[in-house]
Structure 1
Amino acid sequence: MAEAGSTEYLRKLLRKADEHCSAGSSDTVSTFYRNKPSSYFDDIKDKHNNIMEPYLKDHGGDPRCPINGRLKGLFFNVTLQGGTIPHKSPFGARRVKLPLSEVFNDSANLYFADFYCKRPRNHLRRSSQMVSRRRSRIHYVTLVLTRSGSDADRFCQQHLLKLDPQGNRYLSKKSSIYKTLDRDAVHVEVMYTESVDLTNRDLTSTPTIGQGQSTPGGIPKTVGCSICNVV
C-alpha cells in the first residue's frame, strides 16, 4: 500500500484521470512499443551485450509523482491510433516491440503512478491562447508494470496504487485478451521495471515528429490545468 502521505494525493489524481477518461472506449492491443534514436540501440548492442537495462525515472510529469528520481524502468507505449500502432513517433526513429503476453502475465503487477499534461514549450504565449489549446492538450496516464516480488514491486507496493489487472480502464487483461484505453488526446505509457534482451528482436525504422527524441530531465506538468491538477 502507498505511504499515507502520498496515498490520498494519488487517489485524487487517479480520480482526475478516471473522470477525464470515463468517456473513452477501449482498443484490443497485443504489443508494447518503444521508440528511441538509432544511437541508443547501437550503444546497447555495442556496450551492453544487447540488454536494454532499466534506468532512473526523470522528473517529468507531476512533481509529486513517487517514482520521479527513485525508480528504474523502461518506458513503453501502448496507445493505438485508429486501432493500430502509430506510424510516427516523437521519441526516435527506431522501434522495438514486445508482446504483451511476454511481460504482462500472471507474475506481473500493475500500478498507477501519474496523470499529467506537458506545459507548452513557449512559456510566453498569452493566456487566451493557452485557454484555447487546453482542451486539445495531450494528457498522459503513467502506469508501472513490475515482476511480482522484485525490489521494484516492493517499492511500488509502498508508494503507488495497485490496479486490478482485469478491471482497470487503462491496460487490462482477461485470459489472453488485452485492452487499453481509447480516448481522444490521452496516451497510456507504461514503465516496465525489468531488463529486456534485444537479441532476436526486430528493430524497425519509423518517421519522427517534433524533436524526434525525449527531452533530457523530462518536461514538467502544466501548472493550472483543471483536468489533471489536484486542488
Structure 2
Amino acid sequence: YLKPCPGRGSASPCSPPANKTAAAEAPCSAGVASAGNGMAVVGDLPVPQNICISNITCDSFRISWDMTELGRERITHFFIDLNKKENQDSNKFKHKEIPTKLVAKAVPLPMTVRGHWFLSPRTEYTVSVQTAAKKPDGEYDVSPWSEIVQFCTADYSLLHLNQLLQKAELVSGRMLPFSVFYRNQQEALLHPDRYTPQRHLLPAVKDDSGSHGSPISGKLRGIFFSCNTEFNTGEPPQDSPYGPHRFQVRADLLFNLSTNIYFGDFYCMYTSYHYVILVLAPAGSGGDAFCRGRLPLLDRSGNAFLTCRAEADGSLSFCHAQDVILEVIYTEPVDVTLGSVTRVSGHQLMSLSTANAKKDPSCKVCNISAGR
C-alpha cells in the first residue's frame, strides 16, 4: 500500500523528489528517541506533510515529505514512528520509558530506512514522522506528528533468494538416485474439485509455508510432489504426513530436458531437518513465465538438490539430495492416467505436515540477514 503523491492515482507509487541526488542512500540510524521530561512539542518546527513512500523492498523503504520553510533551519533530527499495521497505537512502549521511534539525522530527502531487526517482508506497516531540534542539554523540541500512512514491504528479491540458495547448498548432502515423483493424499481417487473431466490434476495456489518473504507463497499455482527416498531401500518412504494414499508418476514425465528448475525456498520448522522447495516448470509455460526473474534458475543437470541427466543410451537419470527434504512444485496440470494410486503401508504422521508451516526465525542455518 503506497501513499499517493499529490496528483497521482492511489495505485501509483510515489516519485522521489528532485533533490534525491544528495542523500538517496542516506540510511536511517536505529537510535531510540529520548523519553525524558525535557521533550516538548513546539509550534515553530515544521510538521511533515504529504508523506511519500517509495523504493520498497523486503527490509527497506525510501521516505520523503514536504515541509514549510518556517523553522526548517532549527531541525537537527527526524523521528520516525514505525509500527506493524495491526498495532495502531502510535509510540508503543515496550517498557514505560522506551518508545519505538527511530531516530535519523536531518539529512536531505528522500531518506532510505533499512534494517532487518525491525522490518519484515510481506508485512503491512504504518509510519508517521515528526521533526526535532536537539537542545544543548540533550533533550529535544519536537513538532506535532504528521499524518499516518501505510505501506506493505515486498517479497524476497533474487538477491535474497540467492543468499538462501547458498545456505541450502551447504547442507544438501550427497545425491541419491530416484525414479518417481509422488504425492500423498487423503483420497484414493483424486477429489472432484481438483481434476478436470479429462482427468487432469490441477495446480492450486501455494500455501504460506516456509519463509515469510518467499515470492511463491500465495501466488504460484502448482501441484506438490515429493521425491525423497529411504536410504536403505531406494524407495519412497512407507510413512506419510498427508494421508494413506499415494499418487506416483515416472520422474521423466515431469522432469526432462524441456523442464526448467527453480529454487523457491529453504526453511525449517523448529527441527533439525530442513526443507528445500523447488519449482519444475515446462519451458515456455505460464509457470515458467512466473518464475523467470523471480526465482534463481538452476542447472537441471548440475545443481545440489534435484538433477536430470541424459545418459549415453538416450535415457534420463535422476538424483535427489540426501540431507534435505525436497518439496517439488510442478506448475502445470498432470494427467492422472499417466500415474498410479497405491496405499501407503506405514503410519500417517500428520504432525509432520508442512501445510502453512511457519519458519523458525532463529535458525542460523536457514535464515538470512534480510527480514524473516
After TM superposition, the score normalised by the length of structure 2 is: 0.52
- Pick from 150, 155, 168 the counterpart of residue 285 of structure 2: 150
Q: Answer 1 or 2: higher relative contact order, Cα 8 Å, separation at least 6.
A: 1
Measure how far apart 1:220 and its partner are. 1.2
1:118 corresponds to? 269
The one of 289, 294, 298 equivalent to 1:159 is: 294
SS at match of 1:11: helix
CA distance in 2, matches of 1:46, 1:71: 16
Match of 2:347 in 1: 208
Residues 155, 38 of structure 1: CA spacing in aligned structure 2 closer, same or farther, 3 A cutoff?
same
How big is each residue's C-alpha offset from its partner over 1:16-63, in whole Å with a ceiling of 9 and x where there is no partner? 101222xx1111111101101027x34238974332100000111001
- The answer for the alignment partner of 1:6 in structure 2 is 157
Q: 2:192 matched to 1:44?
A: yes
Give ranges in structure 2 of 5+ residues lacking alignment: 1-153, 311-315
Counterpart CA distance in 1 for 2:207 and 2:155 is 23
Measured after TM superposition, the shift of residue 77 of structure 1 is 0.5
Among residues 216, 227, 237, which one is paired with 1:67 in the alignment?
216
Residue in structure 2 matched with residue 193 of structure 1 by the alignment: 331
Are the aligned partners of 1:92 and 1:208 in contact in 2 as well (CA < 8 Å)?
Answer: no
After superposition, give the CA deviation of every residue in 1:191-222 in whole Å (9 maximum; x if it has no partner): 00011121363210113332278465x11111
Q: Secondary structure at the match of 1:85?
A: coil
C-alpha distance in structure 1 between counterparts of 2:321 and 2:254, whole Å? 18
Matched ranges for 1:52-131 at <5 A: 52-82=201-231, 83-119=234-270
Shift of 1:151: 1.4
Shift of the 113–208 alpha-carbon distance from structure 1 to 2, 3 Å rule, reads same
Alpha-carbon spacing, 1:52–1:20, altered in 2? closer, same or farther (3 Å)? same
Aligned to 1:224: 362
Counterpart among 9, 19, 32 of residue 181 in structure 2: 32
SS at match of 2:350: coil
> Would you say the 8 A contact 1:45–1:51 is kept in 2?
no
Is the Cα–Cα contact under 8 Å of residues 36 and 213 in structure 1 kept in the other structure? no
Counterpart CA distance in 1 for 2:155 and 2:208 is 22
Displacement of 1:91: 1.1
Q: What does the per-residue CA deviation read over 1:129-188, in whole Å, with 9 as the maximum and x for residues that have no partner?
A: xxxxx5xx22101000001111110110021000001110111111111111112xx201
Judged with a 3 Å threshold, the aligned counterparts in structure 2 of structure 1 residues 88 and 4 are, in CA distance, closer, same or farther, namely closer
CA distance in 1: counterparts of 2:194 and 2:171, whole angstroms: 43
CA 1:215 to 1:78, structure 2 compared with 1: closer, same or farther past 3 Å? closer
Tell me how many residue pairs correspond in the alignment. 207
Would the aligned equivalents of 2:239 and 2:349 in 1 still touch at CA under 8 Å?
no
Matched letter for residue 182 of structure 2: Y
Change (3 A) 1:227 1:210: same
State the match for 1:125 in structure 2. Answer: none
- Percent identity of the aligned residues? 35
Q: Is the contact made by 1:118 and 1:220 (CA closer than 8 Å) also made in structure 2? A: yes
Q: Which amino acid aligns with 2:350?
A: Q
Query: Which has the larger displacement, 3-12 or 157-166?
Result: 3-12
In structure 1, runs of 5+ residues without a counterpart are: 120-133
Aligned residue number for residue 123 of structure 1: none
Higher helix share: 1
SS in 2 for 1:225: coil
Cα distance per residue 1:80-122 (max 9 Å; x no partner) = 1122210111111110111111111121100000000114xxx
Which of the pair has more CA radius of gyration? Answer: 2
